[in-house]
Amino acid sequence: MADHPVDEKLPALKMATTGLQHVAAMYAGVVAPPLIVGAAIGLSAGDLTFLTGACLFTAGLATFLQTLGIWKIGARLPFVNGVTFAGVAPMTAIVASTEDKSDALPIIFGAVIVAGLLGFLAAPVFCKAIRFFPPVVTGTVITLIGISLLPVAFGWAQGPDPTAHDYGSATNLGLAAVTLLIVLLLRRFTTGFVKQIAVLLGLVIGTLIAIPLGATDFGPVADAAVIGFPTPFHFGAPQFQLAAIISMCVVMVVSMTESTADMLALGEIVDRPADERTIAAGLRADTLGSAVSPLFNGFMCSAFAQNIGLVAMTKIRSRYVVAAGGGFLVLMGLCPMAASLIAVVPRPVLGGAGVVLFGSVAASGIQTLVRAALDKDNNVLIVAVSLAVGIIPITAPEFYHAFPETARIVLDSGISTGCVAAVLLNLVFNHLGRGGRDAHDVTHPMEAGEELTGAPKAPAAS
């Protein structure tokens, strides 16, 4: 009996090239979180390179765990794992609330370890509770992830240092605009592999354009070693603070929700539907990978949705291809010089690419919301209020200024507060009491209800 395409082992050359394609599709997504968090802390170029390499290394390990699997761990599907975007905003909130910035990473690592272990224990239960995370919840959360990260891209576009004389200059904004234009042109007029790596090519071309403008610094590459290893606890032993742990546990719930949705989608694409056992095994891989990642100075890991699109486009369904991509990630993490290349890219160039990268995350959330039956008044209200709550830290950064610092770690993360709001509102409107009211269509979320007007209630359409 022939192997299922998911279990097919391709020839070495094809395995390597298609594995590299997966790396190219997700590379920018893996290095963006350490860049954001590292910049918020004020890490040196050397430490920023180290943190980036560590995230590449741990992404490779998590991908191995997910694709190859051990025991009841790993979905054994062509799943790429890497640093989740959902953790960026809460981690930067932790950084902002930490007086001594040298303690920020140890506090983050401690919180990720606890959240990962709790998630691992909760995986068998979570896969049964997924009915409480319908598209109206997951779509709202994913949209908030993209919206919350867009200000980071806008900040990058202005330059690396807000106190510098050229911050927000025409040169910096011009570099960002040119990079964005390059990415858009590549996505519009190319096909296949080139189209998939449009963001990466945009970063390369934008950096080359920045060289004669004096906006590129090759110092990090010159100072980086060819071979290195992400020394365990390089930034200090993990510290455990309750507020940070709660914040990252919320992120873990978001991450597990995204991964579950991704597994369901990927199972359909590769013609191996993800059942409850597969989802539980996949969530164990995500959470265990997250718990182990801080040991090597990495962040929380989750599935990368963009690679699911790559599987659908190429029709190559082998999990061993993605495992080969995980091998390349590990090798890149063990070569600091390779990891340092991203540090060469000027911030304005990153900003231009970030608009596409982070905007795509928001767009994928909107795509999920399309399946959320927004013609029902309950779902419209859930999305409306959850988005409003999640956008508060972006539009009114000092909104929670009167709250204790520990509470602000959670409240200042729009993703965390938006996720909690969406889950609770979904429970109240669609699961408790007369949740069936959402069967009635309305033309506007503010349309008067029958209870307020006293008009008789029309029978629901069958």
Q: Minimal CA–CA distance to 154: which of 358, 309, 314, 335?
A: 358
CA torsion, points 224, 230, 236, 238, in degrees to nearest 10?
150
Q: Could you please report the per-residue DSSP string of 231-266? A: -TTTT-S----HHHHHHHHHHHHHHHHHHHHHHHHH
CA-to-CA distance for 394 and 411, rounded, in angstroms? 11
pLDDT, residue 2, reads: 57
Asked if residue 161 has pLDDT above 80, the reply is no
Identify the band that residue 456 occupies on the pLDDT scale cut at 50, 70 and 90. Answer: very low
Query: By residue range, what is the domain housing residue 291?
Result: 5-443
Can you tell me the mean pLDDT for 137-160?
84
Place of tokens 């096909």: 191
Within a domain: 453: no
Within a domain: 458: no
Q: Minimal CA–CA distance to 199: which of 22, 20, 25?
A: 25
Q: Give Rg (Cα) of the chain.
A: 22
Within a domain: 400: yes
Within a domain: 456: no
pLDDT tens figures, 388-443: 999 998 889 889 888 876 677 678 778 778 888 998 999 998 877 655 544 444 43
Asked if residue 307 has pLDDT above 80, the reply is no
Share of the chain above pLDDT 90, in %: 23
Identify the band that residue 177 occupies on the pLDDT scale cut at 50, 70 and 90. Answer: very high
pLDDT tens figures, 11-53: 888 788 778 777 766 777 788 889 889 988 988 877 888 888 8
3-state DSSP assignment of residue 308: helix
Within a domain: 457: no
Within a domain: 461: no
| Lowest-confidence segment of 37-51, 84-98, 272-286, 330-344 by average pLDDT | 330-344
Q: Is 170 exposed, middle or buried (0-12, 13-18, 19+ CB in 10 A)?
A: exposed
Number of structural domains (the chain) is 1
Within a domain: 455: no
Identify the band that residue 445 occupies on the pLDDT scale cut at 50, 70 and 90. Answer: very low
Amino acid in position 122: A
pTM: 0.68
Other Cβ atoms closer than 10 A to 27: 23
3-state DSSP assignment of residue 354: helix
pLDDT, residue 205, reads: 92
pLDDT, residue 457, reads: 44
pLDDT, residue 454, reads: 41
